[in-house]
Every structure is written in structure tokens, then in C-alpha cells.
Amino acid sequence: MEIIVPIKQVPETSNVKMDEKTGTMIREGVESIINPLDLYAIETAIRLKEQFCSEITIISMGPSKAIEAIKEAIAMGCDKGILLSDRKFAGSDTWATSYVLSQCIKKIGNFDLVLCGERATDGDTAQVGPGIASFLDLPISTFTSEIVRVEKDSIQVKRLVEGGYELLDIKLPAVLTVVKEISNPRLPTLKGKLKAKEIKIPIWGPQIIDAQDDCLGLNGSPTRVVKIFTQKISREGEKLIVKDEDGLNKAIDKIMNYLISKDII
């Protein structure tokens, strides 16, 4: 079984700054980590590898420092990785990102399963996994909580839905997005770190994956961040200061009259 796991490097901190002109995240000077929800996809792939002698390819789209995330995944137990990096990719929305990742997967060619995290913590859209499936015209199970059975040409999964679970039989190749319930991610091992240190990660640009320039970056993104602003919460109220019993009675009367006027009591 050949497994591909798309991952994303995200800011480690929640104190993220945005570029008001472009509407994109400012990543320079911010410590980055593997998107925490992608770790569950990585762990799921490794467990399938241990069961079926699979080969796992990690792909990631981002700046050159995203190689660190790919190597961490290899240190956990994955086999190889590819970085998609080019200035033309900068500013891509979820549609353009899904397009680039799907073109990379097409270039890789031979695969049975694409495993994605539920969503990225910096964007929180959960759109890239389904976007990849759409571009590749593959069946997908989102919010997958368990892989029940794997056969030669199909996979049975349990999918988390409101009020319970769905049991799906899906033909391979397929795309799964997974939730935390599916596994507990392991830590990188010393042996894995030594392996990752020696592996050279190839960097692919638009030409290698046959990507169309008008589908890349800000210009190729159909969605736009039109305006960025910080919401201001203002609370206007009246402070009642009580100094004696008479003042207390007046304050109580005022509060009661207010609650009655608002139909609260």
C-alpha cells in the first residue's frame, strides 16, 4: 500500500499577525511546528505501514523551512518527503493549495490512500482534504475516527457525524481526513532522527508538477481577505455605588425596574 500524507507547518504560537495589505499571515520570525491535527494522519499512516508494509510519502507546501516538518514526520516513521516551494505559491487560498497538492499527488502517481488531518489550526477551514479529493476525482471520508478494515481494492472506515457514526465502504484509491479519536501520535525516535538527518528532501516547483500559473498564489485564489480588523468590544453601563441602606434600596429598585423593562423578569 502506497500512502501520501499532506502536512502543513503552522505557527506554534496563537499570537499570529496578519498582513493587512495582502490578507495573508506573517510567518517570518514565528516558531513553526507540524500542524497538530496532521500528527494524527501521520500516526494513522505509520500504523497502516506496520500492518501492511506500506510506504509513506509526506508532502508539504511552504517555504524552505517546512523541510523541518517533513523530516520530523520521517523521524516518526515515514519514509520520504517532497517540499512544494516556489514564490508563485505564496498567498494561495485553500482552493489553490488543494490544486497544488493534487498536482503533486498526480506527479507521484502510484498511491492507494491520501491521509489528511481534519484541518489546519492556523486557517481552521477543513477544506484542503476535500479539495484534494475533488481535484483528483476520488471518494473521500471526512472526520474519519477509525479504519475498520483494509482490503485489496477497498477500505472500511467509521466516520464521526452529529449524533453518532457512519460506517463507509470506500473504493481505493481514496482520501481520508482524520480526527483525534483515530490514534495517539508517537514521538520521533533516535533511529528515525538519524534517518531523517541523512535524507535529502527534493523541492518541486510549478514546472515539475505541471501546474498552471493562473491557478497559483494570490492571483489564482478565488477567495480574498477583503478587510482585516480587530473587533472592539465596548461595554456601556451604569455603576451603582451604595453607601447606606437608603442607597441600597434605591439601587435594588433601579435594577428591578431595568430587568422588568427588558422582560427578563
Question: pLDDT by residue for the chain (265 residues), tens digit each?
Answer: 999 999 999 988 665 666 666 666 666 666 889 999 999 999 999 999 999 989 999 999 999 999 999 999 999 999 999 999 999 999 899 999 999 999 999 999 999 999 999 999 888 899 999 999 999 999 999 999 999 999 989 999 999 999 999 999 999 999 999 999 999 999 999 999 999 999 999 999 999 999 999 999 988 999 877 777 777 777 777 888 898 988 899 999 999 998 999 888 8
Cα distances (angstroms) measured from residue 144 to each of 10, 148, 160, 207, 265: 22, 10, 6, 34, 46
Task: Give residue 189's pLDDT.
Answer: 94
Task: Give residue 15's pLDDT.
Answer: 58
Cα distances (angstroms) measured from residue 247 to each of 159, 250, 262: 61, 5, 23
pTM here?
Answer: 0.81
Per DSSP, 214 falls in state G
Q: Residue written as cell 479519536?
A: 181
262: cell is 427588558
Per DSSP, 65 falls in state G
Q: Where are the extended beta strands (E) located within 174-221? A: 174-178, 203-204
**Dihedral sign computed on CA atoms, order 71, 74, 75, 76:** positive
- Cβ neighbours around 156 below 10 Å, total: 15
Burial of 99-136, coded b for 16+ CB within 10 Å and e otherwise, reads: bbbbbbbeeeeebbbbbbbbbbbbbeebbbbbbbbbbb
AA letter at 175: V
Q: Which residues contact 112 (CB under 8 A, 6 or more apart)?
A: 1, 2, 3, 172, 173
Instruction: List the Cα angle 1/160/97 in 5-degree steps.
Output: 60
